[in-house]
Structure formats: C-alpha cells, structure tokens
Structure 1
Amino acid sequence: MPTRSTDSNRAPLMAVAVVHHHFPPSHNPSLKPSPLIRRRRLLSFPHSSSHRPHPQSPILNLMAGRTSAALQSLVEEVSATISSGAPPIPALAGLGGALFLRNRSGDCLAVVKPFNAGETGVREAAAYLLDHAAFAGVPPTALIQISHPPTNLLASIQRFVPHEFDAGDLGPSRFSVASVHRIGILDIRLLNTDRHAGNLLVQKQSVDKNRTFDGAELATELVPIDHGLCLPELLEDPYFEWLHWPQAAVPFSGEEIQYVSKIDPFKDAELLRAELPSIREPAIRILILCTIFLKKAVDFGLCLSEIGGMMTREFCRMEEGESFLESLCTKAEESIGAESELGEEDDVKEYQELCEKPLDLNCHGAGVERSKMISFKDKNEEQWMLFLERFEQILTEVFEVMKKVEVKLKPGSPCNI
C-alpha cells in the first residue's frame, strides 16, 4: 500500500471511495449497472480520523464489467492514483479524447475514455467480458463513473499495456500463430468492424526461431485493444486486418479447437444481458449468430482466413456484394415457411445458387445498402429461434455438400468456392 510522501511539493493525498452501484448515472439512464456487482466501499488510503471517505473525496463508481481479480486490482490502483492528485494526461491526437493515468512512480497505469451515450465504452467492456480466460488477451476493462461534485465523469477504463509497437509498425511475419488465431476467434464472435493494425499492440518475446515465419529469434505477441466498434446491431461488413496474414491460413491447434467447442453463445448472451444491459438485443443476436457460424466452421475444419473470408463482403467494380454469411442468412429467411425435400443433385444445385453472388465476378447483383443490411431487431423470440434452427440446418447442409464436391477455399476469399 502506498505511503504518504514527505515531499512538500506533492499534492496531499485524499481518500477515495470505490463504490459498486446498483443504479445508473442520472445523465445516462440507459446505462444500467450490473445487478451482479456487489455494492461495497474501499478506502485507497487509511484515514487517521475515520475509516469513511472524506465528504469531498472523489467517488469511483464501478458501473459495469466483470468483477475479476484483475479488474478489481485495476480499480484499486486507479483509485490510489486519483487520490494522489495525479492529473490525467491527454493521449495523442486521434484517440477520441482518451486520457492516460500515471501512478506516483510515473508509470502509465490505465487508459480512460470519457463517453456520453455509452455505446463504444460499453462494447469495450463487453470484449473483456466475453474474452473467457483471457484467451485473446483483452486487457482488463470496465465502465466507471468518477464523481467529484460538481463534476461527474463517465468513462471506460482499461489497463495500460506496455508495448514496443503496434502491428502497423511491423510486418506480420513475426507475429505468433497462436496470438493471431486467438484474436481472430474473438473478432469473429464479436463481428469486429474495426480490427486494424493500429489496435493490435506488439510485445516482443524471445522464442525458438523455428516458430517464426522468417526464422527470427524474436517473436511478438499481440494485445487487442479498441473494441468500441464490435457487436454491431446490423450484420455489417467486418474488417479483419489479419485476414491475409500467413498465420491465418495455418490450421487451428487442438487447444484452439477445444476452446471454440466450449463457447456457449446463449450463455454469452445471458452474460451480456446481466452485466451490460444497455447493449441492445439486436447486437446480442449478432453475437449468437457469429458464434454459431464460427463453431460450425471450426468443426468442419476451416482455418481462420477461410472463416473470415466467408464473413467479408466482396468488392468488384466499385460495388459491394453480399458476403457468404449474409447469403446464408438470406437463404435461411427465404426457406422459413417453404419446406421442401431435396435430393442430392438438388442439394448441389441449391449450394451453387447460394454461392452465386460471391462467385459473380461480373458484379451483376446490386450492392449492399445500409438500409437493406440484415437485422434481427424485429423478430420475436419464437421467430428468432426458428431462424437460428434453419440457419444451422442450411449451414450444415452446405458444409456437407462442400465435402462431397471437395471444395477448396482460397484463404481470405470466398469467391474461390
């Protein structure tokens, strides 16, 4: 625990109360704290006269996020930093008003991103919440409110990760296969529309040179940050920086296959509803759909680049066509209420028709307009479950036909089906 400094130039320390609330901040009623978070007060520093916080001390409210040991440690360190009087430091331009918090030793402790509506901040917390067992390495993230009347700051807070570069500063050849795979699995589940090189932090590690693509003695582990544009409410076109990296074409390891097999999309949905109730149902249904697609594709034996390519739209002559995943959803929607039994020849024909748009190199089809993007907002629960049942059925049939005709996918390109 930090001690009081004898340096007269230092700001006096203040006690900070860390409160886990059950009520939303008044200026953002849509952002409701998790009912699973227990209410408790923690004093960052002992007070000689009382164990209660001073009436004028800042109050740090943990509004939402997984109450893990790592997160609790972060919150306590942040409260200590605030109590020391250390001012936040604005981040570089282009980071959306992000602030760095440094501890009394001058080390960067956390990144704080103030927000109003709560959309991106909530999704930052969701990515950490859904990164089970820190498989992809999302840094501890939560939503907080710092109250120091008359000021109330609502923000997402994330543990700062010391790093050498971001992925844009290096070629991908030195990135470890496991690191790329684990981040890719998370991006697919969350339909990340903004996985660019700048939000993949690079940490160097000494490894056997045989493990890298170019024989280097240093490999790099990637740390994923900036998840504010994941979990869209429409079936949007994702952006996966790793799609054409050589690691994405390497088959999944046994550990990765086992991890994916244990993911339960419906439990994940319940987790989001309980911990982050401001995330709306259409976004949660996107999570369920993409997780089911991932699990089926991994079980079929596809690699990361193949799966990502099937989710990504094709551009031809400045027009954007449907992705393979969107085509599957359209086919599932059309098949509901129109049951028919098909023979094997018809199966192949149906499959070829399903793949016609991704294969249409002449771009006869119209582009995808935002107003026509697939949404599950208007489905009631019965309709939604029927759609998922039909989607899984068609997806299974498609994969079976792919086996029969020995379809080979070019990494990152569904047009090669």
Structure 2
Amino acid sequence: MEQIFPTLTNLPAQIASHLQSMISCLENLDLSAPLPQYLSHEHIFEIRDSTNRLRCLFKRFRDDDEEAARKEVAVYLLDHPPNSHRSLSETVYGFAGVRPTVFVRFRCNSEVVMGILVEFVDEAYVIDQDYYHWPISTDDIQSIVLLDIRFGNMDRNRENILLKEDEGVAHLIPIDHECSFANEVQAYNCAGFAWLKSKDFGDYGVAFSPDCVTYVSQLDPGADLEFLRHCGWEVEPYYVEQLTIFTMFLKKVVSKGLTAFHIGKIASFWCDDERHNLQAIVDSVVEEGNYIENVGIRMEERLTEYVMLNMP
C-alpha cells in the first residue's frame, strides 16, 4: 500500500487488527489484473479472502476527490461505541453501526488508484423501494438520525441504508458517507433525509431513547478533531467549523427533547420557519471574534423559542 488512513499504529489494537485484515485481503489479490466489479457499480469492486468469501468492497474515488474518501473514513472513526471514544475503545462497531472503513492508495493493473475499503455486510439489502416486511428497530432509526445530523449528511437516500433481518426485526446499517459536510453553498441546510420523508422508517416523532441522549451528551468535537489529526488527517477549517456547529446543534436539540421530526426539519430545506432554520440561525451571526461561541448563543435563543412554539 502506498498510503493508508488512518495510521493503524495510532488506533486501539482490535480496531487496527480489523482494518489490517481488510487491507491484507486486498494485498493478497493479483493486483496486476483489474479487480472484479461488484454488481453493476462501475466504481465498486469485490475484495475476497483466501476462502473466496466477499470480505470487503473497494470503492474507488477520482484523484481530485480524495477529501470525500477521507471524510467517509472519518465517519467510521467518529462513530464511537456507546460510553466510550473510538480512540479508547477496542469495540469495532460504533453506535450507528457504520462499517469499518479505511482509505488506501495502491497500484492496480499498472495504475495508481485511490479509495476506501468498506467491510461487506452479508445477507443485507438496500431499502430502494416501499418496505413492508419486518418492523424496523426504533433505536436504529434514531442512531442514524444522530449520525446524519452530526456529519451534515447531504445524501441519506433510501439506497444508502442497508437492512439486515435478525429474529424478525429489521436492523438498519448506514452506508456511503462521502457527502458529509458537502454543501458548499448552504453548509447547514441538509438535503431531504430519507428517514424524514418516508413512513417506512417508523415513528420519528417519538422522543430519543435514554441511550441516545447519553451518547449525544458525551460527544466532544474537540476530542474528535484531535483524534483525526492523530490518525493522520489534518482537516480543513470548514470541517472543523461544521463538525463543531453540527455537534453543538445536536447536543442542544436532544437535550431540549426535540424529536427526529423536528430536528430533521430545522436542519434541512424542509423547514417552513426561516427564523428557526439552522442555516438561517448560523447566517444571522457575524463571522468575527468568538464566532462559534456566538453561534451557540444565537442557537440557544432560537431553539428555546422553537420549543415554546412547537412542543406541547
């Protein structure tokens, strides 16, 4: 491998071992020939182990899109397990169930290619049409809501959620996070979330579970950014600002008892009340001095108003 992110030696041993096993599957292939394509996806390829088991997928990115690939890895790294920070935990899977992801650059078929390896999920399928089979876990829905808001996800459509059945209950697995913090014009207006627009995802008008409330209260964007640097990525200033502000927003709305329905509307183009739209709140603050602190003050004022007007 010519390049890897994160730096495996800077991760907890179990996480590093898991990612290294994925990389080893790639290294053990005949890289003098093209990789086998996965289904009909021209930019996604199969990576199988020595037993021919599909171990992970290689998702190729264009040379000018390296940052998007790294952002997708960052979502895995920052999907902390419950009650611990990823940097301190040997637990492989985090709160939202984002699959292990690692950035790689290597030579294949006489050219240098770049992208990510993502762990493959067996016996799962995409919710790409109306869904009426098993009941969907409310905990899974809420964890994806928190993930999407925290990372300003601009692409949570139905095809970016896998479903895996377990004992008659449908569990959701979020995939494809390259569009985190991807709106260059209105950074705090996310595109319509699939979970906000479809009845198939259950009742998003219920309160967040105690586990969700506790998880959000423990989020620390400063520690997250330091962890990414420690892993080998010095993020751009816009990433620092947006992760900090989205996390601050998430902590405030969850602590105030707002539901996924309210949170999704406030943070998206679907908000019909401009005064309480997240983008409008951020835009109302002059970018000078203690900018992020001032955004937090304005956010607290507007969200308090919103609760008084919209919550029973």
Give TM class, smaller chain.
Answer: 0.7 to 0.9
Structure 2: which 5+ runs fail to align?
Answer: 82-93
Cα separation, partners in 2 of 1:196 and 1:80, compared to 1, 3 Å: closer
Which runs of at least 4 in structure 1 moved beyond 6 Å after TM superposition?
Answer: none
1:171 CA drift (Å): 2.2
Cα separation, partners in 2 of 1:322 and 1:276, compared to 1, 3 Å: farther
- The equivalent residue for 2:38 is 91
- The equivalent residue for 2:143 is 182
1:238 maps to 2:195:
no
Structure 1: which 5+ runs fail to align?
Answer: 1-18, 26-31, 39-64, 207-217, 334-378, 411-417
Name which structure has the greater RCO, CA cutoff 8 Å, separation 6+: 2
Please say if residues 176 and 247 of structure 1, whose CA atoms lie closer than 8 Å, have aligned partners that are also in contact: no
- The equivalent residue for 1:310 is 266
1:283 maps to 2:239:
yes
Please say if residues 124 and 165 of structure 2, whose CA atoms lie closer than 8 Å, have aligned partners that are also in contact: yes
Correspondence 1:319-330 to 2 at 5 A: 324-330=277-283
Partner SS, residue 248 of structure 1: coil
Structure 2 residue aligned with 1:400, among 283, 304, 312?
A: 304
CA deviation string 1:203-259 (max 9, x = no partner): 0011xxxxxxxxxxx221011111111122631532311114433211101111000
Q: Distance in 1 between matches of 2:25 and 2:102?
A: 17
Give the counterpart letter for 2:155 in structure 1.
Answer: D
Structure 1 residue aligned with 2:157, among 180, 185, 196?
A: 196
Correspondence 1:201-350 to 2 at 5 A: 201-206=162-167, 218-232=168-182, 234=184, 235=187, 237-239=189-191, 240-244=193-197, 245-277=201-233, 279-314=235-270, 324-333=277-286
Q: Distance in 2 between matches of 1:202 and 1:261?
A: 28
Give the counterpart letter for 1:91 in structure 2.
Answer: Y
TM-score, normalising length from structure 2? Answer: 0.81
Please say if residues 114 and 154 of structure 1, whose CA atoms lie closer than 8 Å, have aligned partners that are also in contact: yes
Q: Distance in 2 between matches of 1:200 and 1:268?
A: 24
CA deviation string 1:109-137 (max 9, x = no partner): 11102222312211110110110110000
1:163 CA drift (Å): 3.1
Cα separation, partners in 2 of 1:311 and 1:409, compared to 1, 3 Å: farther
CA deviation string 1:238-293 (max 9, x = no partner): 23111144332111011110000000122222223333525421122111111100
Deviates most, 148-157 or 249-258: 148-157
Q: Distance in 2 between matches of 1:275 and 1:233?
A: 25
- The equivalent residue for 1:376 is none
Cα separation, partners in 2 of 1:190 and 1:80, compared to 1, 3 Å: closer
Correspondence 1:26-45 to 2 at 5 A: 37-38=8-9
Partner SS, residue 244 of structure 2: helix
Greater C-alpha radius of gyration? 1
Cα separation, partners in 2 of 1:258 and 1:190, compared to 1, 3 Å: same
Q: Distance in 1 between matches of 2:292 and 2:19?
A: 39
Give the counterpart letter for 1:75 in structure 2.
Answer: Q
CA deviation string 1:348-403 (max 9, x = no partner): xxxxxxxxxxxxxxxxxxxxxxxxxxxxxxx6xxx36x122222112222333345
Please say if residues 109 and 159 of structure 1, whose CA atoms lie closer than 8 Å, have aligned partners that are also in contact: yes
Cα separation, partners in 2 of 1:233 and 1:71, compared to 1, 3 Å: farther
Could you tell me the percent identity over the aligned residues? Answer: 24
RMSD across aligned positions (CA): 3.0
Please say if residues 23 and 117 of structure 2, whose CA atoms lie closer than 8 Å, have aligned partners that are also in contact: no
